[in-house]
Amino acid sequence: MDPQSTIILGKAIGAGLAMIGAAGGGIGIGISVGGAVMAMGRNPDHTATIQTNMILGVAFAEAVAIYALVVSLIILFVLS
Amino acid sequence: MNSFWNGKRRFVALLMFLAGVFVALEVPPVIPFIQLPGENFPAGYNIPFTDIRITNTFVAAVIVWILLLLFVVYVIRRRPQSATEVPPGGFYNMFEMLFEGLMGFVGGIAGGRHFRLIFNMFMTIFLIVLVANWMELVPGVDTIGFIHPHVKEKYDAETDKYKVVTTDGFEIYQGFLGISYVNGQCDWISPADEAAADDAALVQAQAAALAAEQALIEDAAYARYQAAHDDHGDEEQGDHADEASDDHGDDHAEEVKESDAAAAAYNDVLAAREAEKQARAGRGCYTGVAPAPWQDGYTGDDKSAKKDIPLHPDPSSEEAKLVPWVVLPFVRVASTDLNMTLALGLISFVMIQYVGFKALGIGYLTKFFNFSTLFKSPLGGIDVAVGLLELIGDFAKILSFSFRLLGNIFAGSIVLFVMSFLVPILPWPFFILEFFVGVIQALVFALLTAIFMNLATISHHHDDDHDHAEAH
- Report, as an integer, the average pLDDT of B208-233: 80
Q: Report pLDDT for B320.
A: 52
Q: Report pLDDT for B171.
A: 35
Confidence of residue B146 (pLDDT cuts 50, 70, 90): confident
Using a CB-CB distance cutoff of 8 angstroms, which residues of chain A are in contact with residue B345? none
Q: Report pLDDT for A58.
A: 84
Which helix H or strand E contains B35, and what residues bound it? none
Tell me which of B379 and B168 has the higher pLDDT. Answer: B379
Per the CB < 8 A criterion, the answer to whether B188 and B150 are in contact is: no
Q: Report pLDDT for B335.
A: 92
Confidence of residue A42 (pLDDT cuts 50, 70, 90): very high
Which helix H or strand E contains B263, and what residues bound it? helix B240-282
Confidence of residue B167 (pLDDT cuts 50, 70, 90): very low
B362/B113 Cα distance (integer angstroms) = 18
Asked if the structure places residue A54 within a domain, the reply is yes
User: Does residue B155 surpass a pLDDT of 70?
Assistant: no
Tell me, rounded to whole angstroms, the distance of Cα B33 from its chain centroid: 12
Q: Report pLDDT for A38.
A: 95
Asked if the structure places residue A4 within a domain, the reply is no
Q: Report pLDDT for B210.
A: 86
Using a CB-CB distance cutoff of 8 angstroms, which residues of chain B are in contact with residue A73? 34, 36, 410-411
> B34 and A74: CB-CB below 8 Å?
no
Using a CB-CB distance cutoff of 8 angstroms, which residues of chain A are in contact with residue B35? 77
User: Does residue B462 surpass a pLDDT of 90?
Assistant: no
Chain B residue nearest residue A53, CA to CA: B444
Confidence of residue B343 (pLDDT cuts 50, 70, 90): very high
Q: Report pLDDT for B181.
A: 35
Q: Report pLDDT for B147.
A: 64
B175/A18 Cα distance (integer angstroms) = 18
User: Does residue B163 surpass a pLDDT of 60?
Assistant: no
User: Does residue B192 surpass a pLDDT of 80?
Assistant: no
Per the CB < 8 A criterion, the answer to whether A79 and A11 are in contact is: yes
Which of A67, A63, A72, A69 lies closest to A32 in space, CA to CA?
Answer: A63
B377/B379 Cα distance (integer angstroms) = 5
Measure CB to CB from residue B444 to each of A59, A69, A80 and give the nearest one: A59
Tell me which of B165 and B190 has the higher pLDDT. Answer: B190
Q: Report pLDDT for B132.
A: 94
Asked if the structure places residue A58 within a domain, the reply is yes
CA distance B408 to chain A (A): 6
- Structural domain including A55 reads 23-78
Using a CB-CB distance cutoff of 8 angstroms, which residues of chain B are in contact with residue A60? 444
| Beta-carbon-side half-sphere exposure of residue B34 (alpha carbons within 13 Å) | 26
Confidence of residue B275 (pLDDT cuts 50, 70, 90): confident
Per the CB < 8 A criterion, the answer to whether B27 and B312 are in contact is: no
Give B115's contacts (C-beta < 8 A, 6+ positions apart).
Answer: B106, B107
Using a CB-CB distance cutoff of 8 angstroms, which residues of chain A are in contact with residue B400? 63
Q: Report pLDDT for B44.
A: 66
> A63 and B173: CB-CB below 8 Å?
no
Using a CB-CB distance cutoff of 8 angstroms, which residues of chain B are in contact with residue A8? 173
Asked if the structure places residue A41 within a domain, the reply is yes
Tell me which of B198 and B359 has the higher pLDDT. Answer: B359
Secondary structure percentages of chain A, helix, strand, coil, to 5: 95, 0, 5
Give B222's contacts (C-beta < 8 A, 6+ positions apart).
Answer: none
Measure CB to CB from residue A76 to each of B181, B406, B440 and give the nearest one: B181
Instruction: Return the percentage of chain B with pLDDT > 70, whole number.
Output: 68
Tell me which of A61 and B279 has the higher pLDDT. Answer: A61
Which of B458, B427, B354, B353 lies closest to B142 in space, CA to CA?
Answer: B427
Calculate ∠ Cα B284-B299-B197, nearest 5°: 45
| pLDDT tens string B396-417 | 889 889 988 998 899 898 888 7
Q: Report pLDDT for A40.
A: 93
Confidence of residue B173 (pLDDT cuts 50, 70, 90): very low
Q: Report pLDDT for B190.
A: 57
Asked if the structure places residue A17 within a domain, the reply is no
Asked if the structure places residue A6 within a domain, the reply is no
Which helix H or strand E contains B382, and what residues bound it? helix B380-422
Tell me which of A30 and B256 has the higher pLDDT. Answer: A30
Q: Which CATH number belongs to the domain containing residue A27 in this structure?
A: 1.20.20.10
- As for how many domains chain A has, the answer is 1
User: Does residue B67 surpass a pLDDT of 90?
Assistant: yes
| pLDDT tens string B243-271 | 444 454 455 444 545 577 788 888 888 88
Chain A residue nearest residue B34, CA to CA: A77
User: Does residue B30 surpass a pLDDT of 70?
Assistant: no
User: Does residue B464 surpass a pLDDT of 60?
Assistant: no
Supply the ipTM of this predicted assembly.
0.70
Lowest mean pLDDT among B1-10, B115-124, B375-384, B409-418: B1-10
> B407 and A63: CB-CB below 8 Å?
yes
- Report, as an integer, the average pLDDT of B190-205: 79
Asked if the structure places residue A50 within a domain, the reply is yes
Asked if the structure places residue A47 within a domain, the reply is yes
Collect all residues from B whose CB is shorter than 8 A from any CB in A.
34-37, 105, 173, 181-185, 400, 403-404, 406-408, 410-411, 440-441, 443-444, 447
| Chain A interface disruption, residue of B155, B181, B341, most A CBs within 10 A | B181
User: Does residue B376 surpass a pLDDT of 50?
Assistant: yes
Give B415's contacts (C-beta < 8 A, 6+ positions apart).
Answer: B430, B433, B434
Using a CB-CB distance cutoff of 8 angstroms, which residues of chain A are in contact with residue B36? 73-74, 77-78
